[in-house]
Amino acid sequence: MNIKNNLLRALLLVALTLMLVTPAQAYFAPSNGQAAALVLGQPNFTSNTADTTQSGMNSPYGVAVDPTTHKVFVADYTNNRVLRFASLFALTNGAAAEAVLGQSDFTSNAAHTTQSGMSNPDSVFVDASGRLWVADFTNNRILRFDNAATIASGAYANVVLGQPDFTSNSSATTQSGMYSPWGVFVDSGGRLWVAEFGNNRVLRFDNAAFKSNGEPADGVLGQPDFITRDAATTQNGMENPYGVFVDSSGRLWVVDCAHNRVLRFDNAASKSNGDPADGVLGQPDFTSSAAATSQSGMSEPLDVAVDNSSGTLYVADWGNSRVLVFNSEASLANGANASYVLGQTNFTTGTSNTGGLSAATLAFPGSVFYDQVTKVLLTADSSNSRVLMYGKPSFSSTSTAAYDGWVLESTATSGKGGTLSAAGTLRVGDDASKKQYRSILYFDTSALPDNAVIRSVTLKIYQAGVVGTDPLTLTAFGSLLADIKKGTFGTGALEKGDFQATASASAIGHFTSIGSGWYQLAIHASDYTFVNLTGVTQFRLHFSATSNKNNVADYDTFYAGDAIKANRPVLTVEYTLP
């Protein structure tokens, strides 16, 4: 396919964790060749038929999620329409769309230059106020649909940019005109960013929600002014830019497709027209442009997205039929290696559907979208006419540093707390006088919906070190267990009485190693009720035996809530909504 011409009622377990953590702890943790968890546009992972139906697609290129309703929007390029699907919390494989824009029904696909029509829509974005922005490629315009989560099929757009009205579609290289717009993104400051394929530039519209039809852009990158469209392989030039993304630190990422690279503009909103980029991925410098199938190279990339909580960057590497994953985007050097790859099992394979069409393969992915709320990655797998979702919708919770820590027994047989520490690592085991260490973990679980139906609960802790002999290897200590408290053992703050305070349920399960220093406890269904949906849930860690009675300090240390994000204890709750 020539890119320049063609451009999830079964019950779904929805994983939700409760605050922000790094990918190592999040429900979606990228790994090479990882399989997707859900598919839209096809009934299963082994079909790729293009269709014009309520559940089918034909070369979808854009995908976005409403940050409030969690509804999914797909730019169905060849069908000249945008499909709206139900919330991520309700989707199943092959689900039917609930509404369509650009067409009056689900079986029509003709292109139109009207207030309700579209011609090859390629990119979509839903801003914080629920406005849907659509890059209407062949009509050389951007359409805005207000209240996009609730409007009816075939609804009229509210505003058009790039054209003076809804019936014009001429290309133009001006401050108010456009030529084949592709990427569209609205940042936290309300600025609309548009990547123009045909004009080799990125336009910035300040206070975009207040723009009227055909209003001019406020800034331009990739060109020195609004009337130049020259392609250039330089630090301030572009050729056929596609995807755009602005991260929470104000960095603009631009996919410079023809140069097989992604450009980074720091403090983008304050850049002057034509200012140079500050970094590049896919190439070692700003003057190289060769395509490559490698850990650092790209081939006609189309889109980019960032997980703002972890700084993980995702690139839809179209020509290599893969998605590249870069950890720690803020500190990436020019030409840095990717950390993981999706769609391929390694960094040197770039053929479509390698090994056969499956949940783990891709064929020319057109976009990537990382949902900051549910923490899943979606990609429009264009040539397979489907949208894939990696991971299940999730939030993440780490223990609260101010309230977790260890409590040491007052005497070896007292069963009461004597001393404590709310700083540094957690301790579980005994000291040289055979006094037991217990540790307390505090999680704010109030973000869970009050009507959540819990399906699974897991608690993970990361081993920091060992004093003496590792109790986890000594049968005299027995299993590492946890007690649970719906609410707090005492006042909430760590105190001596937490050592012996009554739990809602004791010894609810034991921890097992899951590799790389992590230990996980899967809580039994009978104890789900003790997860506090409206407040705090606490856990108390201890071994089943109080001591190994050898008059030597033997205890494990685990990272607490004051550790770096990647090492903190994490609680994961899977649930459905009634």
Length in residues, the chain: 578
- pLDDT value of residue 309: 87
Give every strand in the sheet of 303-307, ordered side by side: 303-307, 312-317, 322-326, 340-342
Q: Does the pLDDT value for residue 17 go beyond 60?
A: no
pLDDT band at 373 (very low <50, low <70, confident <90, very high): confident
**pLDDT tens column, 54-99:** 999 999 999 999 998 889 999 999 999 999 999 887 788 999 999 9
From the options 3.40.50.300, 1.10.150.130, 3.40.50.150, 2.120.10.30, give the CATH code of 14-390.
2.120.10.30
* Token pair of 557 as six digits: 């240390």
- pLDDT value of residue 394: 56
Taking phi over 0 as left and psi of -120 to 50 as alpha, with beta for the rest, 210 belongs to alpha
Q: Does the pLDDT value for residue 136 go beyond 50?
A: yes
- pLDDT value of residue 396: 61
Which whole-number Å values give the CA distances from 444 to 246, 458, 535, in the listed order?
Answer: 30, 15, 6
Which whole-number Å values give the CA distances from 154 to 83, 141, 214, 451, in the listed order?
Answer: 11, 18, 22, 34
pLDDT band at 24 (very low <50, low <70, confident <90, very high): very low
Higher pLDDT, 431 or 17: 431
Residue burial 349-388, b: 16+ Cβ < 10 Å; e: rest: bbebbbeebebbbbbbbbbbbbbeebbbbbbbbbbbbbbb
Q: Which CATH architecture has domain 398-576?
A: Sandwich (2.60)
Distance, CA of 14 to CA of 514 (rounded, Å): 22
Q: Does the pLDDT value for residue 11 go beyond 80?
A: no
Q: Does the pLDDT value for residue 13 go beyond 80?
A: no
AA identity, residue 167 = T
Q: Where are the domains of the chain?
A: 14-390, 398-576
Mean pLDDT along residues 429-434? 96
| Cβ atoms of 190 and 209 closer than 8 Å | yes
Could you give the percent of the chain with pLDDT greater than 90? 86
Q: Does the pLDDT value for residue 256 go beyond 50?
A: yes
pLDDT band at 204 (very low <50, low <70, confident <90, very high): very high
| Cβ atoms of 64 and 183 closer than 8 Å | no
Give every strand in the sheet of 365-370, ordered side by side: 38-40, 386-390, 377-381, 365-370
AA identity, residue 211 = K
The tally of CA atoms less than 13 A away on the side-chain side of residue 328 is 8
Distance, CA of 486 to CA of 528 (rounded, Å): 10
Which whole-number Å values give the CA distances from 450 to 27, 431, 501, in the listed order?
Answer: 21, 42, 26
pLDDT band at 576 (very low <50, low <70, confident <90, very high): low
- pLDDT value of residue 29: 78
**pLDDT tens column, 30-65:** 899 999 999 999 999 999 999 999 999 999 999 999
Q: Does the pLDDT value for residue 10 go beyond 80?
A: no
Centroid of chain to Cα 453? 24
* Token pair of 489 as six digits: 């053992």
Q: Does the pLDDT value for residue 23 go beyond 90?
A: no
Centroid of chain to Cα 26? 10
Signed CA dihedral, 566, 570, 573, 574: sign only: positive
Q: What is the 3-state secondary structure (H, E, C) of 197-259?
A: CCCCEEEEECCHHHCCCCCCCCEEECCCCCCCCCCCCCCCCCCCEEEEEECCCCCEEEEEHHH
- pLDDT value of residue 9: 28
* Token pair of 270 as six digits: 């304050």
Q: Does the pLDDT value for residue 245 go beyond 70?
A: yes
Q: Does the pLDDT value for residue 181 go beyond 90?
A: yes
Q: Does the pLDDT value for residue 102 go beyond 70?
A: yes
- Residue identified by tokens 């301030």 is 236
Mean pLDDT along residues 450-476? 91
pLDDT band at 395 (very low <50, low <70, confident <90, very high): low
Read out DSSP for 4-39?
Answer: TT--------EEEEBB---TTTSS----TTPPPSEE
Mean pLDDT along residues 191-211? 98
Other CB atoms within 10 Å distance of the CB of residue 394: 22
Q: Does the pLDDT value for residue 15 go beyond 50?
A: no
Distance, CA of 370 to CA of 379 (rounded, Å): 9
Which whole-number Å values give the CA distances from 361 to 320, 351, 388, in the listed order?
Answer: 11, 10, 10
In the DSSP assignment, the letter for residue 276 is P
398-576 and 14-390 share a CATH fold = no
* Token pair of 441 as six digits: 């973990």
The per-residue pLDDT of the chain, averaged, comes to 92
- As to burial, measured by CB atoms within 10 angstroms (0-12 exposed, 13-18 middle, 19+ buried), residue 8 is buried
Distance, CA of 154 to CA of 167 (rounded, Å): 16
- pLDDT value of residue 8: 29
| Cβ atoms of 24 and 327 closer than 8 Å | no
